Amino acid sequence: MELFHNQVTHEQGGFSIRMFHPSFGLHFLAQNISPPTTILDFPSEARFVEELRQGYDVVGISFIVPNFLRAKRMAELVRGHSPRSKIVLGGHGTPLPEVAGEIPHDEVCVGEGVRWLRGFFGEDPDRPIKHPILADSFGGRIMGVPVTDSAGHLTPGLGCPNACFFCLPSNFFGNKYVPYLETGQDMFDVCVAIEKALGFRKFYVMDENFLKYPERAYELADLMAKHGKAYRFSIFSSAENISKVGINFLLRLGVISVWLGVESKFEIFAKNRGVDFPSLVSELRSHGILVLTSAILFLDQHDHDSLWEDIRFTVGLEPDLVQFMQLGPAPNSPIFRKYSAEGRIMKDVPYQEWHGQGRIWFRHPHFTREESERLLAEAFRYEYDTLGPSLIRMYETLVRGYRTLDGSGDPIIARRRESLRRRASKFRPFLAAAKHHAHNEASRDLVARVTAEYNDVFGPMTLKQHAQSQVVRAFAAREARRVEAGRNVYQPRTIVTRYRM
Ligand code: SF4
């Protein structure tokens, strides 16, 4: 439900970034088949049962490995309340061997689902894919303040051919890229449609390695320039591809944030060979591009010393955000097969604990499960204690970029700079309120440094911004009390979307 709070900022108290994401895959399926379809996002059990009473021909349940028991329960409810419905299972949980015997179902789809589901309904699997018109997130909160700031959702394609041994999405789609939007024109058309329908000019691109196919990105940038569109994109990309296209191109395309797999300094993946990460992260940030670096903990190469060496290396890059993820041998992945053959998978660990943010479920030569949980929390805590809140680092990147892009004669870059100024101005009341909640000296120094930078570059705050910062303070104080009391879970309401072809 929450990408950032779940695996990036959960140790950052009231500064944690909160937002929910819809079930994109389900919306893709519904948009691309002929039968009228209802999507339930985040249903309670009661709401799910209520919907079953409508008498559906088919009920699709998509689940990931930790939701195995939920999928089982839902399938049993379908059999009990709507016995004539066929049950189709899909998603990353489907390779689990117990699916066959424990979850009631009629069909299982493993891998890409749109073409599979069309085939199931007797439709042409290969007719063009229609991209759903969706917001990327909802229910956002910054320092407890509800924000309506969202982005359009784009999924240009699924999977990645790089086949890194730990990577579930790559493996799940056969170590191939499955394109939905093959050309820059396809992407541009969807951006225009989303802008028209929902008003977004900013997009979250859910593609494992978006710049792997740079021709599509080049064409998209050309079309934006031709039509005077200053769209902005958050992307995932491996370092090799950023180096290939260059930062100037990222600015022209309107890339505002990059999710970058650093992984480990001890296991050099082809995608990271020869990459100077300190320079790359610093250069991206100094051009106003937010950077999230992700690292894997509990690789075979890790002992207690080298694990901390990797943690310190990742934090030392000084990115805006960090994801630490435990190595997670998921069913069917190469690492799962290897560890299974070596007898290292702990089969008694329930599936609800098979995710990268709890305890490892394989035998590691140097770490117990309990240690893995403690060390993961310590890694996130070390990042927060050393670098301060991600939010403030992000505000720092905006002002750094604004400074760097000064004086560019290129009208596209000048527009990007103006966009940085607008965003910095919007977030300034949060920065002003942050000093009251900075949790240690490093955080207080960060807030003071960034505040001084804002004052220097943008001048003093306006009266309106002062007033807004008082409102932020009130919300932030309430959020801090929630966190302190351990009431840190937000539950989204059920969202019902009905698709009619
Ligand atoms: S480059 Fe990234 S998306 Fe591609 S296989 Fe490796 S980890 Fe997965």
For a ligand 1 pocket test, name from 92, 155, 162, 259 the mutation site with the most ligand atoms within 8 angstroms of its C-beta.
162
**Long-range CB contacts (< 8 A, 24+ apart) of 167-176?**
167/208, 167/333, 168/92, 168/328, 168/330, 168/333, 169/208, 170/208, 171/330, 171/332, 171/333, 171/334, 172/92, 172/95, 172/110, 172/111, 172/332, 173/111, 173/112, 174/111
Instruction: Kindly state if the Cβ of 238 falls inside 6 Å of ligand 1.
Output: yes
Question: Comparing 298 with 274, which gets the higher pLDDT?
Answer: 298
CB atoms within 10 A of CB 485: 8
- Asked if residue 232 and residue 177 are part of one domain, the reply reads yes
Q: Separation of 208 CA from ligand 1 center, angstroms?
A: 7
Q: Is residue 440 part of a domain?
A: yes
CA dist., res. 350 & res. 454, Å (int): 49
Q: How confident is the model at residue 136 (pLDDT cuts 50, 70, 90)?
A: very high
| CA nearest ligand 1 atom 6, residue | 164
| 428, 360: one domain | no
Amino acid letter for position 434: A
Does ligand 1 lie within 6 Å of residue 451's CB atom?
Answer: no
> Separation of 263 CA from ligand 1 center, angstroms?
10
Residue with token string 């797999």? 261
| 389 phi and psi angles, rounded to 5 deg | -65, 140
**Ligand 1 nearest-atom number relative to CA 175:** 5
User: Which spans in 254-333 are helix H?
Assistant: 277-286, 304-316
pLDDT at 423 over 90: yes
Q: For residue 479, what pLDDT is reported?
A: 95
313 with 425, same domain: the answer is no
Q: Note whether 159 and 177 are within 8 A (CB).
A: yes
In the block, tokens 């901390």 appear at 308
Q: Does 261 contact ligand 1 (Cβ within 6 A)? A: yes
Residues 286, 312: one domain? Answer: yes
**CB-neighbour burial class of residue 122 (10 A; exposed 0-12, middle 13-18, buried 19+):** exposed
Is residue 75 domain-resident? yes
Residues 6+ apart with CB under 8 A from 419: 230, 232
Asked if residue 249 has pLDDT above 90, the reply is yes
Q: What is the CATH number of the domain that holds 37?
A: 3.40.50.280
User: What is the whole-number distance in angstroms between the Cα of residue 149 and the centre of ligand 1?
Assistant: 29
Contact between residue 176 and residue 137 where contact means Cβ atoms under 8 Å apart? no
The predicted pLDDT at position 383 comes to 98
Evaluate whether residue 478 is within a structural domain.
yes
Quick check: CB of 191 below 6 Å from ligand 1?
A: no
332 pLDDT more than 90: no
326 and 234 in a common domain: yes
Mutational pocket test of ligand 1: of 208, 237, 244, 258, the residue with most ligand atoms within 8 Å of the beta carbon: 208
- Structural contact between residues 319 and 388, judged by C-beta atoms closer than 8 angstroms: no
pLDDT score, position 408: 84
More confident residue, 397 or 332: 397
Beta bridge partners of 41: 495
SS3 260: strand
Mean pLDDT to the nearest integer, 273-290:
96
160 lines ligand 1 (CB under 6 A): yes
Does 407 score more than 90 pLDDT?
no
Q: Is residue 11 part of a domain?
A: no
- Ligand 1: does its nearest atom lie under 6 Å from the Cβ of 321? no
If you measure from the C-alpha of residue 127 to the centroid of ligand 1, how many angstroms do you get, rounded to a whole number? 28
Q: State how far Cα 385 lies from the chain centre.
A: 23
Question: Rounded to an integer, what distance in angstroms lies between the CA atom of residue 40 and that of residue 377?
Answer: 33
- Between residues 409 and 393, the one the model is more confident about: 393
Confidence of residue 150 (pLDDT cuts 50, 70, 90): confident
Q: How far apart are CA 235 and CA 260, in angstroms?
A: 9
Q: How many Å separate Cα 411 from the centre of its chain? A: 31
Q: How far apart are CA 360 and CA 349, in angstroms?
A: 9
Tokens linked to 155: 């999924």
Question: Is the minimum distance from the CB of 429 to ligand 1 under 6 angstroms?
Answer: no
pLDDT, residue 279, reads 97
Please compute Rg for the chain using Cα positions.
Answer: 23
pLDDT tops 80 at residue 267: no
Same domain, 353 and 427: no
Assess if residue 305 is contained within a domain: yes
334 lines ligand 1 (CB under 6 A): no
- C-alpha 175/C-alpha 44 separation (Å) is 35
Q: How many C-beta neighbours within 10 Å does residue 66 have?
A: 17
The arithmetic mean of pLDDT across residues 335-356, rounded, is 96
Q: 333: Cβ below 6 Å to ligand 1?
A: no
Residue 117 and residue 174 in one domain:
no
Q: Is 162 in the pocket of ligand 1 (CB under 6 A)?
A: yes
**178, 309: one domain:** yes
Check residue 5 and give its pLDDT.
Answer: 96
157-189: pLDDT as tens digits = 999 998 988 888 898 899 999 999 999 999 999
Average pLDDT, the chain: 96
Which atom of ligand 1 lies nearest, measured to the CA of 166? 7
User: What pLDDT, on the 0 to 100 scale, is given for residue 206?
Assistant: 96
Whether residue 15 is contained in a domain is answered as no
Choosing from 92, 155, 160, 335 the residue with most ligand 1 atoms within 8 A of its CB, the one to mutate for a pocket test is 160
pLDDT digit string, tens, across residues 194-246: 999 999 999 999 999 999 999 999 999 999 999 999 999 999 999 999 999 99
Whole-structure pTM value:
0.95
The three-state DSSP-derived secondary structure of 140-209 is: EEECCEEECCCCEEECCEECCCCCCCCCHHHHHCCCCCEECCCCHHHHHHHHHHHHHHHCCCEEEECCCC
**Residue in 271, 292, 294, 296 to alter for ligand 1 test, most ligand atoms within 8 A of Cβ:** 271
Instruction: Indicate whether 501 belongs to any domain.
Output: no
Q: Does residue 192 sit in the same domain as residue 225?
A: yes
- Give all strands (DSSP E) within 251-382, no chain letters: 255-263, 290-297, 321-326
Domain span holding position 69: 24-129
Percent of the chain having pLDDT more than 70?
Answer: 100
pLDDT of 192 higher than 80: yes
Q: Output the pLDDT for position 377.
A: 98
Q: Indicate whether residue 167 lines ligand 1 (CB < 6 A).
A: yes
Distance of alpha carbon 280 from alpha carbon 265, whole angstroms? 15
Torsion of CA 433, 438, 442, 445, to 10 degrees: 30
Total structural domains in the chain?
A: 3
User: Which residue from 476, 420, 418 is spatially nearest to 447, judged by alpha carbons?
Assistant: 476
For residue 362, the cross-strand partners are: 345
* pLDDT at 261 exceeding the cut of 90: yes
Ligand 1, from 164, 210, 241, 268: best to mutate by most atoms within 8 Å of Cβ?
A: 164
Please give the pLDDT value at position 488.
86
| Whole-number pLDDT of residue 333 | 87
| Shared domain check, 335 and 356 | yes
**Ligand 1 centroid vs 201 CA: distance in angstroms?**
27
Report the 10 Å Cβ neighbour count for 331.
22
Question: Which residue's alpha carbon is nearest to atom 3 within ligand 1?
Answer: 208
Q: How far is CA 191 from the centre of its chain?
A: 19
Ligand 1 lined by 400 (C-beta under 6 Å): no
Same domain, 104 and 242: no
Q: Is 117 in the same domain as 263?
A: no
* SS3 label, residue 492: coil
Beta carbon of 209 within 6 Å of any ligand 1 atom: yes
DSSP label at residue 265: S
CATH code where residue 351 lies: 3.80.30.20
Instruction: Indicate if ligand 1 lies below 6 Å from the C-beta of 239.
Output: no
Q: Which two tokens stand for residue 109?
A: 């789809």
Q: Which residues neighbour 252 within 8 Å (Cβ) at sequence distance 6 or greater?
A: 221, 225, 412, 413
Instruction: Give yes or no for residue 268 having a pLDDT over 80.
Output: no
Question: By percentage, how much of the chain surpasses pLDDT 90?
Answer: 91
| 25 or 501, which is more confident | 25
The residue written with tokens 């000093």 in the block is 435
Residue 270 pLDDT class (50, 70, 90 cuts): confident
According to DSSP, residue 485 is labeled T
What's the confidence (pLDDT) of residue 399?
Answer: 98
